[in-house]
Amino acid sequence: MSASPRPAATTDAVSDARLSGNRTAFVTIVRKEIRRFMRIWVQTIVPPAVNAILYMLIFGGLIGSRISDMDGFRYLDYIVPGLIMMSVIINSYSNVSSSFFSAKMQNYVEEMLVAPISNVTILAGFVIGGVVRGLTVGLLVSFVALFFSDVVPVHPLITISVALLTSVMFALGGLINAVFAKTFDDISIVPNFVLTPLTYLGGVFYSITLLPEPWGTVSLFNPVLYMVNGFRYGILGASDIPILHSFIVILIFIAVLGSIAMTLLHRGIGIKS
């Protein structure tokens, strides 16, 4: 190929075309991802809402009425932010892990790999698909909570930001899981044996100030604690963790997981030979 430089106008036109093409590809991936989880809404949207109703009935109506206030809030009101965040985390993660893994196993990920799409577009498309499902389920659980609790967000912007960033973080985690997974068991291990315990132990149902040492300190190493408490701060205005710390931890995780995901896609690990 000739090394002579192209005229600037041509280079700009090529860049514009590439940008426009990637934008269309991004929209296509997001649309496909949303259509996928909406097509199977009975499996993807309904169960978290049913779970939320059960939690609120049991912990709010039955057991919660016998539990004293937590950090000055009625117990049911205290756990509502954690329940919403739990559904956001699990659903953002599961959407990307199962969708990307299916694409990999049935080889239709190749449709994207042979197309002129940048890796960042593929990553962004899947992540936004996961975010949309996570936030959709989060909204549904919030709607269910309205029947049991009358809390309204004290800091709406912080509430939305924490939910959004947390879902981005777990969607990235879901993609990394799918890249390494070889069987469907591999994509259920992390949600069942890592995410659920971390979420339950991440202050959804209690304040870590109630824990004896060293468990209070140990809990600080649980990243989910920062998300649940950041979200609780947005809704109730109360948190075990300074809100700035929550944002810092979430952003660090997004940067690290995003870099890992990009490296995996760039090297084609698990998807190219």
Partner 1 sequence: MNALSLRGVVKTYGDDTHALGGIDLAVPQGDFFALLGPNGAGKSTAIGIICSLVTKTAGEVEVFGHDIDHEREHAKALIGLVPQEFNFNVFEAVEDILMNVAGYNGIRRAVAKRRTEKYLKRLDLWDKRRTQARNLSGGMKRRLMIARALVHEPRLLILDEPTAGVDIEIRRSMWEFLTELNSEQGTTIILTTHYLEEAEALCRNVAIIDQGAIVEQGAVAELLSRARFETFVLDVRGIPEASSDFAPFTVRSRDDGKLEVDVPQGETLNILFELMGRAGIEITSLRNKSNRLEEFFLKLVHRDEAAAGVAGGAGQ
**Which positions lie near partner 1, rule CB under 8 A?**
1, 14, 17-18, 20-25, 27-29, 31-32, 102-103, 106-108, 110-118, 267-268, 272-273
Closer CB to partner 1, 99 or 239, in the complex: 99
Considering beta carbons, is residue 112 or 151 the nearer one to partner 1?
Answer: 112
Cβ proximity to partner 1, 103 vs 135, nearer residue: 103
Distance of closest approach, residue 42 Cβ to partner 1, in angstroms: 15
Q: Min. distance of Cβ 271 from partner 1 in angstroms?
A: 9
Whether 88 contacts 166, CB under 8 Å: yes
Q: For partner 1, give the closer residue by CB, 130 or 202.
A: 130
Of 27 and 189, nearer to partner 1 (C-beta) is 27
How far apart CA 102 and CA 108 sit, in angstroms, is: 8
Q: How far is the CB of 165 from partner 1 (least distance, A)?
A: 27
Ramachandran quadrant class, 270 (left: phi over 0; alpha: psi -120 to 50; beta: rest): left
Smallest separation (angstroms) from partner 1 to the CB of 29: 8
Contact 121, 22 (CB under 8 A): yes
Region of residue 6 (phi > 0: left; psi between -120 and 50: alpha; otherwise: beta): beta
Number of separate helices (H) and strands (E) present in the chain? 12, 0
Residues 6+ apart with CB under 8 A from 78: 69, 70, 71, 207, 232, 236
Q: How far is the CB of 18 from partner 1 (least distance, A)?
A: 6
